[in-house]
Amino acid sequence: MTAAARPATRSPRGRSRSRGWLTALLFLAPFLAVYLVLLVYPLFLGIWISFRDWDLMAGDYGPVGLLNYQDLWTDPVFWRSTRNTLYFALLTVPSMTIIAMLLALAVQGPGRIRAICRSVFFLSSVFSVTVVTLVWQMVLAPDRGLIAPIVQFLGFTPVNYLGSTTWAMPAIVVTTLWWGVGLPMALFLAALGSIPKELYEAAELDHASRWSVFWRITLPSIRHTVILVIVLQIVAQFQIFGQPFLMTQGGPANSTRSLVQYIYETSFRDWLVGYGAAMAMVLFGMMLVFSMLQLWLGRQGDDR
Amino acid sequence: MHHSKALAALALTTALTAGGAAGAAEIQLMRFFGDCQNEYGNVNDASQANGECGIITALVNQFNATNEGGHTVVVQTADWGAYYDLLTATYQTGNIPDVAVMHASVLPDFVARDLVTPLGSLFQEAGIDTADFVPAALQNASANGEVYALPFDLHALLFHINMDLMQQAGFVNEDGTVRLPTSPEEFIQMGKEFEEKTGQNYFATESQANEGMMVRFFNSLMWQQGVDVISPDGTTASINSPEGLKAATFIKQIYDEGLADPNLDALGADQAFLSGQAGIELIGTWMVDNFNAQAAGGQVALKNYAVANVPNLFGQDAVWADSHMWVVPKDEGRSPEEQEAAVAFLKFLNDNNFQWSRTGHLSVRQSVIDSPEFAALPHRSSYANTAQIARSLPQTQNQRAIYNAMISDITATWLAGAEPQAALDSAQSQVERILRRSNRGG
């Protein structure tokens, strides 16, 4: 009796549990489908292709083992592109984060002028990379650009920024900062807005200086946003492509060729998709490591 | 109800028969050479047009207006830098053009993968005489004994010269011809003398690693020393050979001695030459018509324009050249009418090869080269034998990758102070990898 009753009591619970699963799956399905088809499948396909001699126009020539990765090891342009990408990220990510935060601090709060400034600073993010690079190429032009007269006024000869191995990368960094500062600024604005007012009121009662208010209240309160911005910036800036591709084509003398540009050229100009996929895997690994490092560093503080 | 159905049927039959009877087709043409619809959109006579863009635009208009089959060519223009990537993409999207322009140096990639239509028998049917093509052009357009393209021109590097500055420097012979150097040492020494006397640069060319004019010069100097940059079988490179070092050291010296401005991009080099700031510009045949017109127009400082072959500096006459050609990309979905229209258009282009040679390019048709009208074109006698000394890389795949690898490393010798030997070693290792991969060694 009892033995027979047991399944009877268990089965409705089992059915409801499986029905719960089904419902959950149903709600998840749209996301899962997109995620699997557009992210997981291409990722594994990419890993698989990176071990093959895969031609863009002729298809698969078969497996080549680790050859694509071996070639990377001895390819000076790959190393140069990696170095350029790291250098670019190193210049861009910290300055972008700091500038975005300063801008957010400056334009947060009530007032019409601040509201206008908020839209103005965000506006440049709306443009496409083509427009942005075109504008900055005009600004930077040594003979008829916007900067040239200023430099001349100060008594220096204008530099051909995009044609110089020293200045081309910083010029691209400035372009990127101008273009991309809007989104992190908006994130900081949202974070600043959610800090409880009582904290500031208490600080005011204690006659805390503006500096210590920022250091002890504002910054700790938006810590998680700072980490979010840095991680987003790392992921975005490691994939730098459009700006150097359009402004310098990777030159002069490879000094601004980025990893994504080299991946693009290898895969779509030279049709060596297998080799390009191997590079893409290295880039993926790099972004993963740096993002994880950042997240880990961010979590260290929470344990305290 | 019945009425409208009958009407529709009638309309359909008319449409079908009208299309079928004429055999007219609309075909897609994909090309670079720029967009000049504003200036030449209404010009139906190619002889009234100037420059690469103007002449090809007018040729298409002329074909559309006059061809007997009633065919229409619709043009899709792509920026030169993105052209091949876009053409490649059409094979994936299915929107494959019926006719496309292609460099001889790129054709091996497409032939090896069976991406272009063999044209030999189609040419024969259409009456395009391949025997009239100069041997170098026919060889460029062929592979494995089959013709895959209609050669349209041969374009080589030339020295474009400002004769007034040369006069000032004392480099003009008694017969009015220009005196050019005969060795690298003389080049440097004449360059210094020129700059002392005129205060201008002796030499100007695109130096910013975008188009690699100096790599074409480097290749020319290699051939002048009897060395092929790429071996005929396409398996090895000799970029870092002693001859390569000689050529690269000489090129770096041109900049080190201040004979050329390393900051010039393509536009800047043309501008410097036109405004009388350089004695010689190194650029291709395609600028002859343009410079000639500008010098005659009187709006620029350049008044007395001349042109010459790249001089023999290392022992043998040789100069880099490539070839523009027209191909019919393979497309399973192309109708016989469209194919017929494409071949008719190629025939028309071939018949009007002379118009194209007015740009400054060398004609690929012996009958055009021998014609009095070709000889009467300005400056042609100064580079009449260019076709004979023109050289190009063997028909290996991935020449664009090879070219770009060489650009990055060789320009680094003057842009980033790289040592010639180190730059050549780096280029050599990359080109070897590219060749190994092209030969499917992985």
Q: In this predicted model, what pLDDT tens digit does every residue of B5-64 receive, in sequence order?
A: 555 555 544 444 444 435 889 999 999 999 999 999 999 999 999 889 999 999 999 999
Place of tokens 């093959």: A52
**Which one-letter amino acid corresponds to residue A152?**
Q
Residue ranges covered by each domain of chain A: 2-49, 76-303
For residue B90, what is the enclosing H or E element?
helix B83-93
DSSP state of B260: S
A156 pLDDT more than 90: no
| Cα torsion angle, A125, A129, A131, A134, sign | positive
- Report the DSSP pairing between strands B324-327 and B201-204: unpaired
Mean pLDDT, 10 residues at a time, over chain B (442 residues)? 52 46 83 93 92 94 94 94 93 94 95 95 95 90 93 95 96 94 97 96 91 95 96 93 97 96 91 96 94 92 96 96 96 94 97 94 92 91 88 91 92 91 94 90 57
- In angstroms, the Cα distances linking B281 to B247, B266, B271, B312 are 18, 11, 10, 16
Radius of gyration of chain B (CA): 24
Domain B25-154+323-384 falls under CATH 3.40.190.10: yes
Q: What pLDDT is attached to residue A132?
A: 94
Residue B14's pLDDT is 47
Mean pLDDT score of chain A: 88
Tens of pLDDT, residue by residue over B240-280, are 999 999 999 999 999 999 999 998 989 899 999 999 999 99
Domain at A76-303: CATH architecture? Orthogonal Bundle (1.10)
Name the amino acid, one letter, at B297. Answer: G
For residue A255, give how far its alpha carbon lies from the nearest alpha carbon of chain B (Å).
9
What's the angle, vertex CA B307, arms to CA B355 and CA B256, rounded to 5?
A: 130
Q: For residue B430, what are the contacts with CB-CB under 8 A and spacing of at least 6?
A: A75, A76, A77, B405, B409
Give the residue from B408, B411, B428 with the most A CB atoms within 10 Å of its CB, the best one to mutate: B408
pLDDT given at position A249? 87
Task: Look at B209 and A249 and tell me if their CB atoms are within 8 Å.
Answer: yes
In the structure, what pLDDT confidence band is assigned to residue A15 with cuts at 50, 70 and 90?
low
CB B424 within 8 A of CB B239: yes
Smallest CA–CA separation between A63 and chain B, in Å?
A: 8
- The edge-to-edge listing of strands for the beta sheet with B72-77 is B72-77, B26-31, B99-103, B324-327, B150-151
Predicted ipTM > 0.85: no
Chain B residues with beta carbon closer than 8 angstroms to that of A75 = 430, 433
pTM of the complete model: 0.86
| Residue-wise burial string across B137-157, b where 16 or more C-beta atoms lie within 10 A, e elsewhere | beebbbbeeebbbbbbbbbbb
Name the β-bridge partners of B362. B154
Q: Nearest CB to A57: which of B115, B412, B429?
A: B115
Helix ranges restricted to H, B94-202: 107-112, 120-126, 135-141, 163-169, 184-198
Query: What ranges do the domains of chain B cover?
Result: 25-154+323-384, 156-321+398-438
**A250, A72 in Cβ contact below 8 A?**
no
B210 neighbourhood in chain A, CB within 8 Å: 249, 251
Q: Do B25-154+323-384 and B156-321+398-438 come out as alike in CATH topology? A: yes
Q: Do B88 and A57 touch (CB under 8 A)?
A: yes
How far does chain A reach from its first CA to its final CA, in angstroms?
57
CATH for B156-321+398-438 (3.30.420.40, 1.10.10.10, 3.40.190.10, 3.30.1510.10): 3.40.190.10
Q: What is the pLDDT of residues B344-362, one digit of tens each?
A: 999 999 999 999 999 999 9
Asked if A142's CB is within 8 angstroms of B442's CB, the reply is no
